[in-house]
Copies of this chain bind each other. A is one copy, B any other.
């Protein structure tokens, strides 16, 4: 009789996400307007696509386990040493390493209730527990309550996404500096900056290398490389040394490394994506005004629209799916009264707008 390790056996069977491909299969649909996973509708830089296509013949070679060239380029971007950078298969991967590295079995983490679910998935998966702090009713993380809880329970990790997911809220530099300074000395601050490329560098925490800070970035959002699975950590040499003991040495796709390096050489493309994303957010805000709904302020590539209550939000998501528009919604109060739509291209936004108008008639407040 084969039994899993007891701590794994005890885990629930829940899956954090259902993919759109499964929904398409269940619905018998060949395609969906993909606005559910905050992918970039504007794709990656054509320079990155060309670089990846050119190297495709060499996919028989493993990628460089040290990502030397990419780390050199990232060190220049962030004003640090390549030794301060560790590349992984997206933030999900490096976040898992953070949890595995610092949260011992039975250990604690603190995070907002309903924030990016993969964080809690990892903490539970490695035998820890998340102490959850409610979002404020306006949908912003409750920074003061997170600090207070951290001092009360002394967690191994405090997790915060900034800009935040799923709310879209953004805390500017000074506020994050104060938040970070106020955390307990022996707590690792895991700062998820997946959406940081949508704000200006000057608005973000300055380059800071301190064992207490574990900062994560990705090529999945503004750089349009979600399918490539590539992201990285910025932290101290000591923390990187811990990750080196447990990371998958050959975990990153070679083509993803090549594409990411090329993305960094096309800042102009990224700027256009950021501009077009802001335009799309404005359009969603105008749509919400037309429909007499409120939107949450967002500095990301998605917008939460407040539809009044969680039941209605769930029904709207289901009805949109029947019309071929795939979005998601936050799972926990108070944000669960919202639907969350990624910024698409202009035609995708128009399809979403028309479908939402139709659906709201059928799903009244």
Contact = CB atoms under 8 A, between A and B. Distances in A.
Contact of A101 (B4, B241, B251): B4
A346 interface: no
A7 interface: yes
A250 interface: yes
A228 B61 CA distance: 9
B104 A62 contact: no
Nearest to A213: B2
A253 B92 CA distance: 13
B251 A65 contact: no
Nearest to A9: B242
A60 interface: yes
Instruction: Kindly name the residue among A3, A59, A101 whose own CB sees the greatest number of chain B CB atoms within 10 A.
Output: A59
Given A224-B60, A227-B62, A228-B59, A4 B252 contact: no
A253 B105 CA distance: 30
A249 B210 CA distance: 30
A16 B43 CA distance: 36
A48 to B, nearest CB: 8
Interface stretch (A34-42, A303-311, A333-341, A355-363): A34-42
A49 interface: yes
Nearest to A214: B2
Contacts of A314: none
Given A4-B101, A89-B89, A101-B4, A61 B227 contact: yes
A16 B13 CA distance: 33
A17 to B, nearest CB: 6
Interface string A2-28: 111111110111011101011001000
A229 B250 contact: yes
For chain A, what secondary structure do more than half of its interface residues adopt (helix, strand, loop), or is it mixed?
A: loop
B62 A2 contact: no
Contact of A44 (B60, B101, B121): B60
A60 B225 contact: yes
Contacts of A187: 2
Contact of A253 (B21, B58, B186, B228): B228
- Which 4 pairs show the lowest CB-CB distances between chains A and B? A227-B254, A5-B104, A21-B64, A60-B224
21 contacts: A1-B185, A2-B186, A2-B187, A2-B188, A5-B100, A8-B102, A8-B245, A11-B245, A21-B65, A21-B68, A21-B69, A43-B57, A52-B255, A59-B226, A60-B224, A62-B226, A89-B248, A227-B253, A228-B254, A229-B252, A253-B253
Given A8-B242, A21-B66, A62-B227, 15 more contacts: A1-B186, A1-B211, A2-B211, A5-B104, A5-B156, A12-B245, A15-B244, A19-B62, A40-B60, A53-B56, A63-B227, A89-B229, A92-B249, A92-B251, A125-B246
Interface of A: 1-9, 11-13, 15-17, 19, 21-22, 25, 34, 37, 39-44, 49, 52-53, 56-66, 68-69, 89-90, 92-93, 96, 100-105, 107, 118, 121, 125, 156, 185-188, 211-212, 220, 224-229, 239, 241-242, 244-246, 248-256, 259
